[in-house]
Amino acid sequence: MSEKQVNIRNKKARFEYHLMDVYVAGMQLTGTEIKSIRKSKASIMESYCVYDRNEVWIRNMHITEYDNASFYNHRPRTDRKLLLNKKEIKEIAKFLSVKGNTLIPLKLFISEKGWAKLEIATAVGKKLHDKRHDMKEKDDKREMDRALKK
């Protein structure tokens, strides 16, 4: 495997959503896509997951084209299939049937076996007052840590 650990995160996810269940899914990738991911040239900040015809897909995930590839290179923003078992797919489909519920990616990483994995979570969007409350708690905690440090 590589010396550098790949750990690509969606930093806004925990601020924007109330997270419910977390799943780890494999991804169906081509050779140039996995090489770019191993170089940490991917982004899941603007991506989201959808349920379509008994399958779960990730949309709008950006994987930069591989530099050393010839004409066999991949498209940077294409739909990619997530590999989950049937039980997990049924749970996700049931959750997504309710209006306002969504499925968001949290983290993209390489497993110990060398496979690209995506951590996804079922989530409900936060309201503005919830976000303000979280920011206030974060500021209060920072103030207390500063006071204890002195």
* Strand pairing class (7-9; 101-110): antiparallel
Letter string b/e over residues 97-132, b meaning 16 or more CB atoms within 10 A of that residue's CB:
eeeebbbbbbbbbbeeeeebbbbbbbbeebeeeeee
30 has a pLDDT exceeding 90:
no
Strand-pair partners of 43: 62
Q: 90-114 pLDDT, tens per residue? A: 999 999 998 989 999 999 999 889 8
Domain ranges of the chain: 7-149
Residue 83 and residue 44: Cα distance in Å, rounded?
17
Q: Is 0.85 surpassed by the pTM of this model?
A: no
Q: Is the model's pLDDT at 3 over the cut of 70?
A: no
Q: Is CATH 2.40.280.10 the right assignment for the domain spanning 7-149?
A: yes
